[in-house]
Structure 1
């Protein structure tokens, strides 16, 4: 799957987020990159499908809006393509990954996401 089609799958996953939930998302940007690049001190073999970076809504206080940069959600294309054997699997995994990372924006923990089946 090429980048344009993958971007379309991410866009479709975002459009599928219920309107009342999407309306509560605040100051968050979505990016697509080919691969996760582990930082200094991280295991060089780390593979991520998505990554949320920012301050969850549940941790924001009145100080937060004063010049804070947007939260960042990145969806990594190559690991998703590598684990899927067909287009429908890619579309499903993109949706799961997008929901998973947006849930972190709302303050839902990794453990709770696994309990809910979005791990």
Structure 2
């Protein structure tokens, strides 16, 4: 699947976020890259300061980022439908970190 098609799936995944949560996302950029050089099997990564950890020093900060690693996702998927599902899971998982939800809780919720 091309980078453009995966990027389109990222937008579709963001649309699955409940509106009350989606409106709360501010100053976050979602990127699609080929692969994480340090951890090649990593599917996605949130880099920033979770809402639950922000203080008055956060004002004026650069945007937080969610990076989706296209090649790692393609490595574990056999069909386009699986790619769509995995992109959605990964995007929602990483954006959940923005809201301060940790990996243990995400696994409990089925978004591990």
| TM-score, scaled relative to structure 1 | 0.89
Tell me the CA shift for residue 102 of structure 1: 0.4
Structure 1 residues without counterparts, runs of 5 or longer: 39-44
Displacement over 6 Å in runs of 4+: none
Cα RMSD of the aligned pairs, angstroms, is 1.1
Matched length: 112
Tell me the CA shift for residue 62 of structure 1: 2.1
Higher helix share: 2
Q: Quote the Cα distance in structure 2 between the aligned partners of 1:109 and 1:3.
A: 28
Structure 2 residues without counterparts, runs of 5 or longer: none
SS in 2 for 1:63: helix
Asked if residue 35 in structure 1 is aligned to residue 24 in structure 2, the reply is: no
| TM-score, scaled relative to structure 2 | 0.95
Asked if residue 91 in structure 1 is aligned to residue 84 in structure 2, the reply is: yes
Give the greater-gyration-radius structure (CA). 1
Tell me the CA shift for residue 116 of structure 1: 1.2
